[in-house]
Amino acid sequence: MLDNGCFSPIVTLMSKPKRITLVGRIAQISILIVICLLLYNGSMYIVETVYRDDDENQESDTNLNFNSTTVMDWEWAQWQGPNRDSRSAETNLLKSWPKHGPNLIWKNNDTGQGWSSPTIAGGYVYVTGTKKKKEFLVCLDLAGQFKWKVIYGSATCRYSGARSTPTYDKGNIYVISGIGEVVCIDTRKSMIAWKLNAYKIFQGECGNFGIAESPLVVDDKVIYTPCGKQTTMVALDKLTGETIWKSESINDVSAYVSPTIIERGGRKIILTVTGSYIVGIDPEKGEILWKYLYVKNDKGENLLGTLMANATTPLYRNGQIYVTSGYNQGGVALELSENGRSVRVVWEEKILDCHHGGVVYHNGYVYGASWRNNADGNWVCINWKTGEVMYDHHWFDKGSIVYADDMLYCYEEEQGHVALIKATPGKFDVVSSFKVSTEKGENWTHPVICDGRLYIRYKDALLAYDVKQKQEYRKTNDE
């Protein structure tokens, strides 16, 4: 006997009526099929075509049951951390390391080629990689053990390693492939919930290196920046992939920047950088509130005639925006009006022309690495209010940076050295350092600090180091 209310429509449809036409019977059968499909698929939504992983593109060693879809304060659930500014709020971290570096907890050599950072959320580690021109998401447990893998898209043809850092939101992972496919992966089912080739749909235009954007989730929306003649930025429904809005076009190509979101005068604003412009966009309706011409040369080239490659997420503090880019482009500070609808230049500075390693703010100063050429650069500190250069120091090579507990963690890209630096403007003060590997070049992944661990990636490997000053028990979601 069926006493569950959800089956009552099926019972009603299956009961024999007194009179029924052929058309009526076909309609009843059609409704029955739709109800059965809804009951089977639950709340899954598919955009374009049904895309289910089979044995060819999915691997799993267990059926996972995630106990939590809520992001904890200490987790690193998206590009550059909780506020997209490469700052960790963790404390009680080591102030110096042993000669050969902090203790290596685990190393996983099968994450695929990529330069995306790991995402740590819900008691698991997620990282994107590529193999044979296909991009995939790998899920590891906190001991570095493989759980499952989902192929979600195609890599770009130039520097084909995965670039998009996964964004975790309420049990779903959002990624963007190297050719502009926006994908939602249900971590509870380890399968794709929806997928669409947004770059193709919105007729996007990008630079020579393809797509390198990590998606921003704002309320019910996933943000992507295809640029081109049709639009600049689009917002997709995070549960279905349907278009919520698309902004007007500013007739530009996309850069390699992952957007961030700020608030000014009670108004939320998405900040990003395209091939030539710094842009502020209303996240509710997609209105372009303002744009500033950052690259003032034809064809997106700088004064030396080299192709521009804007790749640094903007910084924001108390009404001031800071953007920097390599190839001698340099940085600019903009004052954002109180109503968030206009900007003006505060200062410009050419020394800290960050390539793609990011910059961090701390106590009135900006820290990062400059570009001297594609194989070299200095480590630089500048004053946030004035742009004055505090130091310009050569240490192996340029690289990426993250802040935690009054210290800077610098990962130079050519030889794989990692340094612990005092976050002070007086000098580039190396407290401790070690070398991650003997492999040279393309160590481009930004470090991650989460729950007392330092995550470093190179080539196909992801490593987790213990940087906690004292061991403290913290209950994780999977216990």
Tell me which DSSP letter residue 337 carries.
P
Per the DSSP assignment, residues forming a β-bridge with 333 are 322, 347
Token pair of 298 as six digits = 């034809």
How does 225-252 read in b/e, with b if 16+ C-beta sit within 10 Å? bbbbeebbbbbbbbbbbebbbbbebbeb
Q: Is the pLDDT of residue 249 over 60?
A: yes
Residue 87 covered by a domain: yes
| Within-domain flag for 123 | yes
Is 128 in the same domain as 21?
Answer: no
Q: Given this model, what pLDDT does residue 52 score?
A: 32
For 459: left if phi > 0, alpha if psi spans -120 to 50, otherwise beta; the answer is left
Ramachandran category for residue 80: left, alpha or beta (phi over 0 → left; psi -120 to 50 → alpha)? left
Identify whether residues 24 and 65 lie together within a single domain.
no
Amino acid at the residue 330: G
The count of domains in the chain is 2
Q: Which domain holds residue 17?
A: 5-40
Q: Each residue of 293-347: pLDDT tens digit?
A: 999 865 555 444 445 689 999 999 999 999 999 988 999 999 999 999 999 999 9
How high is the pLDDT of residue 159? 74
Return the higher-pLDDT residue of 339 and 46: 339
* Local confidence band at 8 (pLDDT 50, 70, 90 cut-offs): very low
SS3 per-residue string spanning 243-260: EEEECCCCCECECCCCCE
- Average pLDDT on 426-442 reads 89
Same domain, 20 and 127: no
Does one domain contain both 65 and 96? yes
**Considering the domain boundaries, does residue 471 fall inside one?**
no
pLDDT of residue 5: 37
Region of 23 on the Ramachandran plot (φ > 0 left; ψ -120 to 50 alpha; else beta): alpha
Same structural domain, 103 and 70: yes
Cα–Cα dist 113/109, whole Å: 10
**Residue 430 and residue 376 share a domain:** yes
Helix H or strand E segment including 198: helix 198-201
Tell me the per-residue pLDDT of 212-230, one tens digit each, with 9 for 90 and over. Answer: 999 999 999 999 999 999 9
**One domain for residues 251 and 102:** yes
- Is there a single domain that holds both residue 191 and residue 152? yes
Cα dist from 316 to 243, 263, 360, whole Å? 28, 9, 10
Average pLDDT, the chain: 85
